[in-house]
Amino acid sequence: MSLDKTLHMHKWYRSREGRYVFSALEQEINSILSEVFGYYAVEIGEHTCIRTLLSESRIKNNISIFSHTPSKVSGNMSLIADAEFIPLAFDNLDLVVASHVFEGSEYPHQVLREIDRILVPEGHCLLIGFNPFSYLGLSKILRLNKCFQRQQTFRSIGKMKDWLKVRGFEIISTQTYGFRPSIENKKLFSSLEFLEKAGQRFGRKLGNIYLIHAKKTELAQTPISSWKSNKILRRKPAIIAASREVSK
């Protein structure tokens, strides 16, 4: 995803609705992470530049993958790479947290193939995305929200779940957050709190943000190379790898 699209997305997360949603999202992710164990975890996507989502992870070896050079580095290891070409070994990750990597990618199926490739069998995947069937999705279509560009594609929950199932993933849970429009007036925003309660009870598929928790269930693929004997994951200081975008 380009730096320009990333900055627009971050602007929404700094809004009143964005901050509310991020707080709820972070709480749910921390609950999931308390039950996920392993050796290596990676987070990729736009939240890596806002705030790490792996702070409460029981997995100590955490890797952050940025789409561009970050202002600061968090986690044990860091990489700069494209989501379509993740420079990590086959069947080596126990957890992947992917936030908004599908909205700006021209090759979303390649992104999912890469996530599938690097996860171990029974490895966990958390996908975060903007829901097209929401206030946010409607405002994007009507071009009422300047935080999003026309080139960005909001992938529906149903489509993402179908893609995951085709790749051999089991869907563990699906949650949505944020049922209010982006309103900066604190009093008016608070007066619409009833929409959150109604949404969670009657319209759970209509939240602005969704979180899909999936688990890889297929057998591990044996790569035709010596990658398994030369894994790049080691307990070393941060690694910076140039991507195609950065090298331009």
Is the predicted pLDDT of residue 176 greater than 90, yes or no? Answer: yes
219-233: per-residue pLDDT in tens?
545 454 444 444 445
Cα separation, 162 vs 155, whole angstroms: 11
192-203: per-residue pLDDT in tens?
888 988 888 888
Cα separation, 68 vs 19, whole angstroms: 23
Task: Domain ranges for the chain, please list them.
Answer: 3-247
Exposed, middle or buried by CB within 10 Å (0-12, 13-18, 19+), for 136?
A: buried
Positive or negative: CA dihedral 154, 52, 172, 39: positive
pTM of model > 0.75: yes
Q: Domain 3-247's class?
A: alpha beta
119-156: per-residue pLDDT in tens?
999 999 999 999 999 888 887 777 766 666 666 789 99
Contact status, residue 25 vs residue 35, Cβ threshold 8 Å: no
Contact status, residue 211 vs residue 29, Cβ threshold 8 Å: yes
